[in-house]
Structure formats: C-alpha cells, structure tokens
C-alpha cells in the first residue's frame, strides 16, 4: 500500500488536465446522454457517459495517447497484450504518432476486435487463452525487439489518460453525486476516481465487475488477495482480467466507495436495453454499469445525478444477435413450443390459423415425427412464434389449448 501515495502524488489533477488537453487533438469528448425511461426504471436520475462512441470504440484511446506522449519518440515501436480494446486504441494512437505497433491477443478474442487492430496497421499475434497470457508474450517480445511495452491498465501514464473521463464528468454534470464504472484491471476506475476525488471528494465512485470474473471485487470484500482466477467465461470479455494490477488494486481499495458484481443475465439485459432505448451498441464490459443499476446491485444517488460510464462498444455482430435473441426469449417475445396435429390435409393449416387468430407472428414451423410419442395419423409440430411479450404469449398458448392443442416445450417429448 505504500505505493498509493506515490502514485497519487505523481497524478495530481494538474497533470491529469495536461494529459487530457493534449489528448483532445485526437480523442473525442464523448456525449453525456439522458434517458427518462432508464432513470425511471433505475429509480433516480441516471445519465450515460457514452465512451462506446469514442474513436476506436472505447475509452482505451485516452490511455494509449497518454502513454505515447510520455514516451516522446524515444522508441521505434510499441507492443501490447490485450483482449481487443486496448489493442485497437494503441494501434490507432501509434498510427497517429507514426510509431510501429505489435499486439498480442488471446486466440478467442472477438473477430471484430482483431480485424479492427489490423485495420489500424498493427501486426497481430494471437496466443494463449487469456489477456494475462497475451501480456506475458508481449513483454517477452518487447525485451527481444527493444520495443516499448504498453500495459493495458497497470501503468501511471495509462491511468492518467483514463482520468480524462472524470475531468469531463465534473464539467458536464454540476449536480453529479455518484459514478458507476466498470472494473477489469482497474485502469479506468483508478483514473476516474483519482480525478473525481481530487476535484469533488464527496462524489461516490462505485466499481462493477462481472461476477464470472471478479478478482478485484473479492479482494475488496476481503475474500481474496486479487490473485489470478481461472480463465473466465463471460460476455463482458473486455473486463475479463484474471488479476488486477499491482498499481491499480491499491488505488481501487483506497478510492472506490464500493465494488460490486453483476451476473451474465443482467449484463445481457442491459445491452439490449441500451440498444432498444438509447440506440447504443455497447459491449458486455461497457454495459455492466447499467446492469448494476437496473438489477438493483447499485442504486442511484438520492439527489443529483448518477452517471453510468459505458466504457466500450466493440462487439461481434454474431454475439450481439445471440444476446438479442436470448433476451427476446427471456422476455417472452419469442417462444418455441411443440404440439400435435392430425396427419391429414388441412391439419397443419388449422394450427397456423389458430396461431394467426391469436395475433402471434409465425417465425418457423417444423414437422417432428421422430423421438416423439405419436398416435397413428398424427404428426408432431415444432413452432417458433413472435409475440408482444410474456402476457401476449400466455394468451396465445391458452387460446391454442382451448382449441384442443396440447402444448409442450422446449423439450419436444410430449406425454400421452
């Protein structure tokens, strides 16, 4: 813990402002968005800091620009290990500064993020199953080739860059009372908290981790030491870090007012809410803050504004579609069920007419004749429908039962 005063002394607000002003030539001042419906659902005044609209799709550009400025042309190239957002940010910043860049990423890093890094001109190496393994490989490459290693979060210059968000929030929200921020390795939360606590110490800063990967939260609660976890499985891949930093963990313990976790279902729901209501594409790591508020794990301030930082928007289209489909099913807007019809001309048509009469939209229909107990001259049918929600779905199924259809699902085995 002795290092914390040293870090804080090196990152006084004057330096944070200098770093922020220098980055303004490249980094955007991202919008602070309000949503009446989200505020009502969360139970207080909630605004969204849309870092998902930052260049390269995440807050990481701020830290990358800060680090490259600190290097001041003293190296021929830079190298990093990252799940994707830091990689894209460093590649973009390096291109802006005319510096060569290499990036090591996990083998299962999102395809869109790998493509984004390559599009910015960096050389990509995919190694290992986690960010930690990618970082180790990047450090070895830096030592071998004389490149400057740029850590994704455990670096004073990187933290100083991320602090720019905190500076902007103080200017943009005079009634700011509480900030909810994602925690992976801790660079973003440390930077934001450093800025806020120096300028407005009364503002509460709440960190959020995905429950599937929360070493910092465990350490914060006294249930662990921030040591490494097994390779995590979470849709919040951008904060799936096996351990927090040696610089960032003490800062988090000192500066955060609380550090909580959210489950995968809550993260997925928040992503869909942001897509439907705010028209924002936000990755899992960026949506954990709203997930915390919507699920009640975090609550808005009793008065004044609570701001959820949406830290990134880089997500594979396939994963986004899968999450949207999952949420449609969970909310009862899409359902699959099984029933029987008479195996004669018009039998299926009668079922489809009954579905249409209930005002459900037919998505798919499939005959099921194997693995299902059927009478002679009877056919099983698997039906996927779209409805207006859980209540409408219940009415559709009740209407079909009243019409004489036995309904079962999702298991296609119907009982006699």
The pLDDT, as a whole number, for residue 218 is 82
Q: Is the pLDDT of residue 231 over 60?
A: no
Beta sheet of 361-368, edge-to-edge order: 334-342, 378-386, 361-368
Q: What angle do CA 211, 216, 222 make, to 5 degrees?
A: 100
More confident residue, 74 or 411: 74
Q: What is the pLDDT of residues 331-367, one digit of tens each?
A: 888 999 999 998 888 889 999 999 999 999 999 998 8
CATH number for region 61-154: 3.40.50.1100
Mean pLDDT of the 199-208 span = 97
The DSSP element (H or E) to which 33 belongs, if any, is strand 32-34
Distance CA 123, CA 77 (A): 11
Residue 3 confidence class, pLDDT cut points 50, 70, 90 = low
Q: What is the pLDDT of residues 63-112, one digit of tens each?
A: 999 999 999 877 889 999 987 899 999 999 999 999 999 999 989 887 87
Question: Is the separation of the CB atoms in 195 and 219 below 8 Å?
Answer: no
DSSP 288-340: HHHHHHHHTSS---SSSEEEEEE-B----HHHHHHHHHHHHHHTTSEEEEEEE
The position carrying tokens 């933290």 is 159
The pLDDT, as a whole number, for residue 331 is 82
Mean pLDDT of the 140-168 span = 96
Mean pLDDT of the 234-243 span = 86
The runs of H, that is alpha helices, within 228-316 are 248-255, 264-277, 284-295
Mean pLDDT of the 43-72 span = 96
Mean pLDDT of the 382-396 span = 92
Written out in words, the top-level CATH class of the domain with range 332-402 is: alpha beta
Q: Is the pLDDT of residue 327 over 70?
A: yes
How far out from the chain centre does Cα 95 lie? 26
Residue 370 confidence class, pLDDT cut points 50, 70, 90 = confident
Does domain 3-58+157-326 bear CATH number 3.40.50.1100?
A: yes
Segments of the chain assigned to CATH 3.40.50.1100? 3-58+157-326, 61-154
The pLDDT, as a whole number, for residue 2 is 44
The DSSP element (H or E) to which 341 belongs, if any, is strand 334-342
Q: Is the pLDDT of residue 414 over 70?
A: no
pTM, whole model, 2 decimals? Answer: 0.85
Beta pairing class for 361-368 and 378-386: antiparallel
Q: Is residue 84 left, alpha or beta, with left meaning phi > 0 and alpha meaning psi from -120 to 50?
A: left
Q: What is the pLDDT of residues 272-283, one digit of tens each?
A: 999 999 999 999
Beta sheet of 77-81, edge-to-edge order: 123-126, 100-105, 77-81, 148-149
What 8-state DSSP symbol labels residue 107? T
Distance CA 287, CA 274 (A): 8
Q: What is the pLDDT of residues 204-230, one digit of tens each?
A: 999 999 999 888 888 777 766 555 555
Cα Rg, the chain, nearest whole Å: 25
Range of weakest confidence among 5-9, 257-261, 266-270: 5-9
| Average of per-residue pLDDT values in the chain | 90
């Amino acid at each position: 813990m002795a290092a914390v005063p040293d870090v804080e002394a090196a990152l006084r607000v004057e330096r944070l402002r200098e770093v922020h002003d220098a980055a303004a030539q490249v980094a955007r001042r991202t919008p602070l968005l309000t949503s009446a419906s989200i505020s009502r659902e969360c139970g207080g005044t909630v605004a969204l800091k849309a870092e998902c609209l930052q260049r390269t799709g995440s807050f990481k550009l701020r830290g990358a620009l800060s680090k490259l400025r600190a290097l001041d042309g003293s190296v021929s190239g830079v190298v990093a290990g990252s799940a994707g957002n830091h990689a894209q940010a460093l590649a973009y910043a390096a291109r802006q500064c005319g510096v060569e860049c290499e990036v090591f990423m996990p083998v299962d890093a999102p395809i869109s993020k790998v493509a984004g890094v390559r599009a910015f001109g960096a050389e990509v190496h995919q190694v290992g199953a986690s960010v930690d393994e990618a970082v180790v490989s990047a450090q070895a490459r830096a030592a071998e080739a004389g490149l400057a290693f740029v850590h994704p979060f455990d670096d004073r210059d990187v933290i100083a860059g991320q602090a720019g968000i905190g500076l902007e929030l103080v200017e943009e929200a005079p009634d700011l009372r509480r900030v909810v921020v994602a925690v992976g390795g801790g660079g973003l939360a440390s930077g934001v908290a450093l800025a806020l606590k120096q300028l407005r110490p009364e503002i509460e800063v709440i960190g959020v981790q995905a429950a599937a990967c929360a070493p910092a939260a465990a350490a914060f609660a006294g249930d662990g030491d921030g040591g490494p976890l097994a390779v995590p499985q979470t849709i919040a891949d951008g904060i799936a870090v096996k351990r927090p930093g040696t610089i960032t963990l003490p800062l988090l313990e000192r500066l955060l007012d609380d550090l909580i976790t959210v489950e995968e279902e809550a993260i997925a729901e928040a992503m869909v809410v942001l897509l439907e209501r705010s028209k924002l594409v936000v990755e899992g790591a960026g949506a954990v803050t709203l997930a915390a508020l919507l699920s009640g794990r975090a609550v808005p301030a009793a008065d004044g504004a609570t701001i959820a930082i949406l830290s990134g928007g880089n997500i594979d289209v396939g994963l986004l579609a899968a999450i949207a489909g999952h949420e449609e099913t969970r909310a009862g807007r899409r359902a699959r069920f099984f029933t029987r019809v008479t195996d004669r001309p018009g039998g299926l048509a009668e079922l489809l007419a009954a579905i249409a009469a209930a005002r459900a939209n037919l998505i798919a229909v499939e005959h099921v004749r194997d693995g299902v107990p059927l009478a002679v001259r009877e056919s099983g049918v698997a039906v996927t429908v779209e409805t207006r929600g859980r209540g409408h779905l219940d009415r559709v199924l009740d209407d079909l039962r009243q019409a004489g259809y036995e309904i079962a699902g999702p298991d296609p085995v119907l009982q006699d």
